[in-house]
């Protein structure tokens, strides 16, 4: 981990949706330590600022892949970069998805919106070792079909089991309509022998975790990725505090047994 941004070069970009872009970054000199699925980097848009962005792909050696949604000044600047541009990168930061707890068990990957991005490296890791895990289920929700990420990868993910649902269907959409928790009835998993990984809006995380607990998945094996305003990424500034946790250091991935009492307090 380095607290100083290292220069990376944008070598490829893909427009995933109307406001979301996937960036592939390559170190311009010495690169960072390897990232694990679930960890994040601080991406610096020169002259604008930096924001935390989870890795959405880590299979290309020293290259890093990040999927960014344009919602603020820095993210808009990053999404507007063209191939060849420079980006400052710090990291890796945060706790990863605990894949060790999932070995030999069924795996539930449940995402809402941009929350699928941090889960994508986990899906790739499970698919790379199919005999090390039980049944893989990928359940994804989005506002509309046009907002669904990685639609070109879903055919490969469906070979185990993957399904998407949207809040508002558009013309030609023949898939499911409704919140992502409605897909749990279609998933194939043994609740007592399952590890679930959940990322998305906080209200979606709470609803999904409660649904999983209601089906018998132990709270310690429901892993959730939480989001707060991370600025220093080193646990010093306190902007990402959630109760006793500093999410840049103690998160963003935590067990729901630890997250549940914190998420129940509205002021936190």
pLDDT for res 29: 86
Element (H, E) at 253: strand 253-255
Per-residue pLDDT of the chain (268 residues; tens, 9 = 90+): 666 899 999 999 999 999 999 999 999 988 899 999 999 999 999 999 999 999 999 877 799 999 999 999 999 999 999 999 999 999 999 999 999 989 999 999 999 999 999 999 999 999 999 999 999 999 999 999 999 999 999 888 988 899 999 999 998 898 899 999 999 999 999 999 999 999 999 999 999 999 999 999 999 999 999 987 788 888 888 888 888 888 889 889 999 999 999 888 776 6
Every domain range in the chain assigned CATH 2.40.30.10: 2-93
Domain 2-93 matching CATH 2.40.30.10: the answer reads: yes
The tokens describing 179, both together, are 């919140």
pTM surpassing 0.85?
yes
Longest dimension (CA), the chain: 50
Distance of CA 3 to the CA centre of its chain: 22
Phi, psi at residue 223, to the nearest 5°?
-100, 125
Domain 99-263 matching CATH 3.40.50.80: the answer reads: yes
Every domain range in the chain assigned CATH 3.40.50.80: 99-263
Preceding peptide of 11 cis, ω within 30°: no
């Amino acid at each position: 981990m380095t607290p100083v941004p290292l220069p990376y070069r944008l070598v490829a970009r893909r427009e995933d949706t109307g406001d979301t872009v996937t960036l592939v970054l390559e170190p311009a000199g010495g690169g960072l330590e390897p990232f694990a699925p679930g960890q994040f980097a601080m991406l610096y848009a020169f002259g604008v600022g930096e924001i935390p962005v989870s890795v959405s792909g880590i299979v290309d050696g020293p290259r890093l892949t990040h999927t960014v949604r344009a919602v603020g000044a820095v993210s808009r600047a990053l999404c507007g970069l063209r191939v060849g541009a420079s980006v400052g990168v710090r990291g890796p930061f945060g706790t990863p998805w605990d894949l060790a707890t999932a070995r030999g068990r069924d795996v539930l990957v449940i995402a809402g919106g941009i929350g699928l991005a941090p889960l994508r490296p986990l899906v790739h890791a499970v698919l790379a070792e199919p005999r090390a895990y039980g049944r893989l289920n990928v359940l994804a929700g989005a506002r509309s079909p046009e907002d669904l990420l990685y639609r070109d990868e879903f055919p490969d993910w469906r070979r185990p089991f993957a399904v998407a649902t949207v809040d508002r269907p558009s013309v030609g959409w023949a898939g499911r309509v409704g919140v992502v928790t409605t897909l749990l009835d279609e998933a194939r998993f043994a609740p007592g022998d399952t590890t679930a990984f959940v990322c998305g809006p906080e209200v979606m995380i709470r609803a999904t975790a409660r649904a999983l607990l209601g089906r018998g998945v132990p709270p310690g094996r429901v892993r959730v990725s939480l989001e707060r305003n991370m600025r220093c990424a080193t646990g010093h500034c306190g902007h990402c505090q959630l109760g006793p946790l500093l999410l840049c250091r103690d998160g963003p991935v935590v067990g729901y047994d630890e997250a549940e009492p914190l998420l129940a307090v509205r002021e936190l």
